[in-house]
Amino acid sequence: MKREDFVPDVIWVRRADGWMVPLSRAENPEEWLRIVNDGDAVVTQADDGTNEYDGRGIIPTSSSSAPSVMAEMLELLDVTVGTDVLEIGTGTGYNAALLAERAAPGHVTTMEIDPTIAAHARQALERTGYPVTVITGDGTRGYLERAPYDRVMATASALWVPYAWVEQTRPGGRIVLPLVGGFGRGAFLRLTVDRNGSAQGRFHGGASFMRLRNQRDDEALWEISDTADAEATTTGLFPREPFTDFEAAFALGARLPGWVTGERNDSDGRTILLMSHFDSGSWATVTSGTDGHKVYHYGPRRLWEELEAAYEWWTGTGRPDHSRFGLTITPEAQTFWLDTPEQLVSSQ
């Protein structure tokens, strides 16, 4: 099996000016093949295929993951002959073919929300002789018709684990996915499902994946409006680590679920940190300065003060890395913990 058998004839590459542009196999076969075989992720769709920028693209929305990353996930999943597998996020179909090689014919179901991408994968799998059931639909709902599964695997990152995946997994089965927090850093989560309808597991290694389409959170930052209606204060603490350091960002994402964060440069070059909370309608911005840092709060929650408290919690607990965190899922809640399930970090 070759990766090139599944990657579409048009891929997307990033130019020096930041735009993504299509690269056709027919027009430049040597460059196309070099990119497909160089071991990195290959972008296969930009901007959900809308082509709203006249042939250029901004945001990658589908890809063929780097083979090394795929191997890491497959190792965590541990598929053997006879294992019933549900994959969320078909993409090119290459990963589904790898699953089929391990599970045996007829045991792999894969779901893709984008009809065009699903059709391409279905054709590639048929052409290469891999008997995989390709379903066009919302993978966050699972696929009840072929449940229960021994393994569920998501190849798109999630802010929270859809409970349907737990419900459709046999007791003792595994769920593997990249989970990302509100500070933009994610890690592979491996869950084991028990007989009581719950799942629990730890995080393993950093992971950067495109988001599940119905869990995108970018708009929460766009809703940050003019600071004229916000309360202005100052702070002496301006921790950049939650926005720049992987371990800090992951830990605070676990501590502060439901957040969206980002940063931009002001017209004078100063950094502005932005944060928003989904449910409360609250947001805050912080601008660095030599004479103190300016904070604007809007809404019922004082988000910057919550971030400062979370940052002090992380430093006070010895700056734990992502591998010390875990997650427990029940029908009622998803709970982050540190080291042991008894040491609760947050719940949503």
Dihedral class, residue 91 (left if φ above 0, else alpha if ψ from -120 to 50, else beta): left
- For the chain, the three-class secondary structure string (H helix, E strand, C coil) is CCHHHCCCCEEEEECCCCCEEEEECCCCHHHHHHHHCCCCCEEEEEHHHCCCECCEECCEEEEECCHHHHHHHHHHHCCCCCCCEEEECCCCCHHHHHHHHHHCCCCEEEEECCHHHHHHHHHHHHHHCCCCEEEECCHHHCCHHHCCEEEEEECCEECCCCHHHHHCEEEEEEEEEEEECCCCCEEEEEEEECCCCCEEEEEEEEECCCECHHHCCCHHHHCCCCHHHCEEEEECCCCCHHHHCHHHHHHHHHHCCCEEEEEEECCCCCEEEEEEECCCCCEEEEECCCCCEEEEEECCCCHHHHHHHHHHHHHHCCCCCHHHEEEEECCCCEEEEECCCCCEEEEC
Q: What is the pLDDT of residue 214?
A: 86
Q: What is the pLDDT of residue 269?
A: 67
Residues 235 and 292: beta-carbon distance below 8 Å:
yes
Q: What is the pLDDT of residue 220?
A: 67
Q: What is the pLDDT of residue 275?
A: 86
Catalytic option among 63, 64, 65, 157? 65
Q: What is the pLDDT of residue 271?
A: 78
Mean pLDDT of 159-164: 95
**Any idea what DSSP says for residue 268?**
T
Does residue 94 have a pLDDT over 90? yes
64-68, 162-166, 223-227, 273-277: segment of lowest average pLDDT: 223-227
Q: What angle do CA 129, 130, 136 make, to 5 degrees?
A: 120
* Cα distance between residue 270 and residue 289, in whole Å: 7
Residues 191 and 178: beta-carbon distance below 8 Å:
no
pLDDT band for position 42 (cuts 50, 70, 90): very high
Does residue 105 have a pLDDT over 90? no
Burial class of 287 by CB neighbour count within 10 A (0 to 12, 13 to 18, 19+): middle
* Cα distance between residue 58 and residue 94, in whole Å: 24
Mean pLDDT of 20-47: 95
pLDDT band for position 142 (cuts 50, 70, 90): very high
Q: What is the pLDDT of residue 348?
A: 85
Q: What is the pLDDT of residue 225?
A: 67
Q: Supply the pTM of this predicted model.
A: 0.92
Quote the distance between the C-alpha of residue 49 and its chain's center. 19
Does residue 91 have a pLDDT over 80? yes
Kindly report the average pLDDT of the chain as a whole number: 92
Mean pLDDT of 40-52: 93
> Percentage of residues in the chain with pLDDT exceeding 90?
73
Residue, of 226 and 106, whose pLDDT is higher: 106
pLDDT tens per residue across span 211-269: 898 888 776 676 676 677 888 888 888 888 998 999 999 999 999 998 889 887 777 66
Mean pLDDT of 145-162: 96
Catalytic (active site) residue 65: yes
Q: Which two tokens stand for residue 192?
A: 């084991």
Mean pLDDT of 41-64: 93
